[in-house]
Amino acid sequence: MIVATRYAKSLIDLSIEKQQLDATRSDMKLIKQVCEANHDFVLLLNSPTIKPDKKQEIFTSVFSGKITALSLSFINLLSKKRREFYIPSIAKQFDEQYKVKNNIITAVVTSSIELDSDSKKRILDIIKESGSNTNVELIERINPSIVGGFILSIGDKQIDQSVKRKLSDLKKNLANKN
């Protein structure tokens, strides 16, 4: 979405100017979480019948004390301009642009149980061995159906070391030999 990308870029530039980039990233993450967790909030953003001043009151009551004045002013400005329906997309775009600006890649590791610190360190070592000279944001997901091992996804690359896949491969090999 081009409009969301432009607003996110503007917010990044303003945050850098005000020396609040990391705080604004935290704010945008919170706003994104609220939008993902609360469908009614998104309906409010998209509603043309609710007046901008009423939406601004709601934003203030929901986010006051939880986000910086800069971020609250920004979402209120979007409301005044009747662009509040872009807020979820702007929050997402902000985080993506922040990661690019700070050379951060996101890696998703899926395992059957929660990883201990040694396992996390080994996963990070695997990522660094792949020639990635960047900071890594590791997101953990738990999926008991993979039985054991892990699945590591970085962008469009995936390393599947799950027991489920290995059993599936073994089953295919045995079926092909018969």
Enumerate the domain spans of the chain: 2-100, 103-177
Closest CA to 67 of 95, 96, 41, 29: 29
Q: Where are the beta strands (DSSP E) in the chain?
A: 104-111, 135-142, 150-154, 157-160
Closest CA to 138 of 148, 147, 128: 128
Question: Cβ atoms within 10 A of the Cβ of 55, count?
Answer: 20
The pLDDT of residue 159 is 87
What pTM did the predictor assign?
0.77
The pLDDT of residue 61 is 92
Amino acid identity for residue 69 in this structure:
A
Helix (H) / strand (E) element for 61: namely helix 52-63
Q: Give the Cα-Cα-Cα angle 69, 9, 140 (nearest 5 degrees).
A: 85
The pLDDT of residue 135 is 85
The CATH number of the domain covering residues in 2-100: 1.10.520.20
In the predicted model, residues of the chain with pLDDT beneath 70 are 131-133, 178
